[in-house]
Chains A and B, each alone.
Chain A
């Protein structure tokens, strides 16, 4: 039996509200022309139909329609830059990024505010710009905090970024950030709320080193590392009782490479975790990774596939606290780009979710999505 999470009328009302918001924002967008203005805006829209099937466990079956609008605003002057990203969907409305930068020189920037964790490759590549990522789904490794992502996605603090120019137009980019990490509540990480500064969040320090063989291309290979002290709301979930702190260290290797019509993006992350209980410390370690390949048949059609895998994740104590985290997925898809700024994507996947008590939930996924960008 399929569970219909929302009634049609509720969904209709939400879509109507979303459409009204999008329309009003669109009108504002139209009024900010890209003439000589320090302001610039982008509006990303998407509508996704999603169905899960499981012959073995009908309780896993689910059907849903999700609509999302993401609004990006930037301001640029000679020495100052601002970037804000706000997301509306039928499940949330949140300021995802709110960051200002002192532009020290052409190669150096110092950002302050709420930004996406620089050690998460996918997150810092696509942010909430659904239209920009070829696939509909994100890898489980790089899911957002409120989608059971295992790593912090949002940090509130400072971020230093510098580019070292090398010979033949190659460069190394170095980034270092420090700030407030998310807190573990219930069955997910919860990002620091700037309006609630005394909410007991701890510290996150992240870094990345990226080599780009040609700064005019998007090809890159990079190393990442992070140290996240994740405070725990022990009373929010019986499984968190007596757990005071999760000390999470990650070490990653990612790449994004394009050869003519082929593109490969991949991220491999090793997790070294210390669960600090009142009665003592429990160590945990595992690794998660994915490889996504894309083939551009022509300007309109792209075929793609992704495999997500891990080692030691099946019996991870930490991941047991995140039962909805995607541990394994084999996915194939096709995307049709039309009318310059619209995309229609179909995706099928064989997926395993972490589940509870070391029992993975297995199911098939079918997704179809329209996405677009304006202006």
Chain B
């Protein structure tokens, strides 16, 4: 009888632990960064190399669409992950590189936005517009489609 009670207690403890960890697990699942475009864009995929090129000011055309990169300014962690994992540069080096290209050839810098709503407006303005965002944001937004997972927390 005591043995049954002990097993039952352990099962209950386990279930409670799992229940407590579920929100944490959901939160971890959100820690992914994806590349998105507008939902009706013909851009279905883009290589890591082309993403780097586009964000470094080098012309990239996919399926007849000129790729227009968009940067987000309001989320420091998102920006840091994107620069380290995708562009492979520090913030300082990246900014200097963009300024250098503009100074030398008048190369346009990526569009910068300060809010999620502004980002969606910019994405909607061009079929070749691309941006990075948290996966949870992308999943909740019908106006965008995910074309690539850029980073996932392990």
Contact = CB atoms under 8 A, between A and B. Distances in A.
Which size bracket describes the interface of B in this complex? 20 to 34
Nearest to A161: B105
B100 interface: yes
Chain A interface SS verdict (over half): mixed
B106 A36 contact: no
B96 A36 contact: no
B103 A34 contact: no
Contacts of A40: 102, 108-109
A196 B106 CA distance: 27
Contacts of A155: none
Which size bracket describes the interface of A in this complex? 20 to 34
Contacts, number: 65
Contacts of A72: 102-103
A109 B59 CA distance: 13
Interface stretch (B5-13, B50-58, B139-147): B50-58
Chain B interface SS verdict (over half): helix
A341 B92 CA distance: 9
B61 interface: yes
A129 B100 CA distance: 9
B22 interface: no
Interface stretch (A74-82, A140-148, A346-354): A74-82
A106 interface: yes
B82 to A, nearest CB: 15
B81 interface: no
Interface in B90-117: 90, 92, 95-97, 99-100, 102-106, 108-109, 111-113
A72 B105 CA distance: 11
Contacts of A36: 111, 122, 125
A35 B112 contact: yes
A268 B108 CA distance: 32
Nearest to B88: A216
A299 B104 contact: no
A74 B125 contact: no
B148 to A, nearest CB: 18
A126 interface: yes
Nearest to A38: B108
A82 B97 CA distance: 20
A125 B104 contact: yes
A171 to B, nearest CB: 10
Interface in A318-356: 337, 340-341
A75 B107 CA distance: 9
16 contacts: A33-B112, A34-B112, A35-B111, A35-B113, A74-B106, A81-B105, A127-B103, A127-B104, A132-B100, A215-B53, A215-B58, A216-B53, A216-B56, A218-B97, A299-B90, A299-B92
Interface of A: 33-36, 38, 40, 42, 72, 74-76, 78, 81-83, 101, 106, 109, 124-127, 129, 132, 169, 215-216, 218, 299, 337, 340-341, 373
Given A72-B102, A125-B100, 6 more contacts: A36-B125, A76-B108, A132-B99, A169-B49, A215-B53, A218-B100
